[in-house]
């Protein structure tokens, strides 16, 4: 087997250019490039640059010419529509030193598409029949504007519509066969391990010794609000990738053990719902500082009603008393953010809703409400299960929003670990 470095040498590079002034405003970002990145990754092609420019011929031409010098594959999306704004065709033509030409066949095809939907073709739409000499024209069966595909020496330049639904079809239908031919023996595939209840830097320490064995460039760590995703990748001929990823997964699992919550793109809420389903157990939640976020995460997932009965958002002390039966004396003696109250909430909701598991969170999400004894970020989690209960506490860093997201994910991990043991 060739060492990874040698294989990396022949990995193709790609760049994306998204065209559209709306992608330079205050609200939207280009996300087509993610689809393109995923698509190309399957052929071992690595994204090296992304750009977004407005609807301007000269800027588009400069960007296309620049990117063609840097990457093997350049994918341009957007600006192929019929309005005066849509000047990607003209920009690409300028980059290649060519001129757009009206294609009579495409014009007929566009007219027929309008006729088929019994709509009159606005005069401006004829512009979509402009093509660039040397391009293969990609028919758009989900829309109107055709795409263009150039093979210029060793490079590939694809010009696709910006509508995701239309672009995706052209990737599958037109680019896939071309890439399959180009990259037959250098596929790249990725498998994701979801870790929960861990800290990114500690994970890195524990797995560092595996980098040499599998290649540093084949391991990516992504951390977000208490969850860590480990992306294991491998390149090579199509038939060799899955067994290689199996070996990688086994090696990482040996080190990470129970911290691996799942394989795949799922979330921690999906993991616990699946575990509850396997055990035929019902869950109830009692949330204070997360205010419903855990319930929201669980019910984001279709079918969660099988195993999630609901719960209480006990944001006030009154709600903790009235709906969970937390005694006033306990609240007075220890405060709402305390181990005894967290445990009473978990046990209370479990009992009141006749659930197998009760999960509770109480904390100070800030920005106000902290004291020296109980600073902002102090959170108690409790889980009550068939074989007892367990409490955890930490002081979390960050903004109110981060503290709440961390709190929710840590809660779900506490439950996950309880479910592994079969009792809290």
Placement of tokens 């009154």 in the chain: 318
Placement of tokens 């921690």 in the chain: 268
Nearer to its own copies, 66 or 340 (CB): 66
In order of 158, 167, 265, 299, the CA distances from 18 in angstroms are 12, 12, 26, 35
CA 244 – CA 259 distance, rounded (Å): 22
| Minimum separation from the CB atom of position 415 to its own copies (A) | 15
13: nearest Cα among 41, 51, 54: 41
Placement of tokens 């660039």 in the chain: 132
For residue 358, give the 3-state DSSP assignment.
Answer: strand
| Structure token pair of residue 400 | 């109110």
SS3 of the chain: helix, strand, coil, percent, to 5 = 45, 25, 30
φ and ψ at residue 148, rounded to 5 degrees: -130, 140
In order of 218, 278, 293, 300, 307, the CA distances from 285 in angstroms are 39, 19, 10, 15, 12
Helices 268-279 and 400-421: crossing angle in degrees, nearest 10, is 30
Contact 280, 306 (CB under 8 A): no
Nearer to its own copies, 67 or 96 (CB): 67
Alpha helices in 159-267 (DSSP H): 164-170, 176-182, 200-207, 211-214, 238-256
Nearer to its own copies, 34 or 137 (CB): 34
Nearer to its own copies, 137 or 353 (CB): 353
Nearer to its own copies, 36 or 135 (CB): 36
Nearer to its own copies, 52 or 275 (CB): 52
Nearer to its own copies, 103 or 226 (CB): 226
Nearer to its own copies, 137 or 313 (CB): 313
């Amino acid at each position: 087997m060739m060492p990874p470095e040698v294989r990396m040498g022949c990995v193709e590079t790609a760049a994306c250019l998204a065209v559209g002034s709306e992608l330079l405003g205050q609200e939207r970002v280009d996300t087509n490039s993610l689809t393109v990145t995923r698509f190309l990754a399957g052929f071992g092609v690595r994204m090296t640059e992304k750009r977004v420019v407005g609807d301007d011929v000269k800027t588009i031409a400069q960007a296309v010419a620049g990117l063609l010098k840097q990457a093997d594959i350049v994918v341009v999306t957007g600006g192929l529509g019929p309005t005066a704004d849509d000047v990607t065709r003209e920009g690409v033509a300028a980059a290649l030193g060519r001129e757009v030409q009206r294609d009579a066949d495409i014009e007929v095809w566009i007219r027929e598409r309008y006729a088929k939907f019994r709509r009159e073709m606005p005069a401006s739409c004829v512009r979509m029949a402009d093509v660039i000499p040397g391009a293969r024209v990609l028919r758009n069966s989900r829309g109107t504007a055709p795409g263009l595909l150039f093979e210029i020496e060793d490079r590939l330049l694809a010009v696709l519509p910006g509508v995701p639904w239309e672009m995706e079809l052209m990737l599958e239908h037109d680019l896939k066969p071309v890439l399959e031919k180009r990259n037959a023996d250098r596929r790249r595939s990725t498998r994701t391990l979801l870790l929960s209840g861990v800290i990114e830097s500690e994970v890195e320490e524990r797995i560092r010794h595996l980098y040499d064995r599998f290649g540093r460039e084949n391991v990516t760590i992504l951390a977000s609000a208490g969850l860590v995703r480990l992306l294991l990748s491998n390149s090579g001929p199509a038939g060799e990738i899955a067994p290689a990823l199996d070996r990688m997964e086994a090696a990482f699992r040996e080190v990470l053990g129970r911290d691996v919550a799942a394989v795949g793109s799922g979330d921690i809420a999906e993991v616990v719902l699946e575990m509850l389903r396997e055990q035929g157990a019902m869950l109830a939640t009692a949330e204070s500082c997360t205010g419903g976020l855990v319930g929201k995460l669980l019910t984001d997932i279709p079918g969660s009603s099988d195993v999630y009965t609901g719960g209480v958002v006990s944001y006030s002390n009154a709600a903790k008393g009235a709906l969970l039966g937390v005694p006033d004396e306990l609240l007075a003696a220890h405060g709402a953010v305390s181990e005894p109250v967290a445990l009473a909430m978990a046990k209370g909701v479990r009992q009141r809703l006749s659930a197998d598991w009760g999960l509770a969170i109480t904390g100070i999400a800030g920005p106000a409400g902290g004291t020296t004894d109980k600073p902002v970020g102090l959170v108690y989690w409790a889980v009550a299960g068939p074989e007892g209960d367990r409490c955890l506490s930490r002081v979390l860093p960050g903004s109110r929003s981060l503290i709440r997201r961390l709190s929710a994910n840590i809660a779900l991990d506490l439950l996950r670990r309880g479910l592994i043991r079969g009792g809290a």
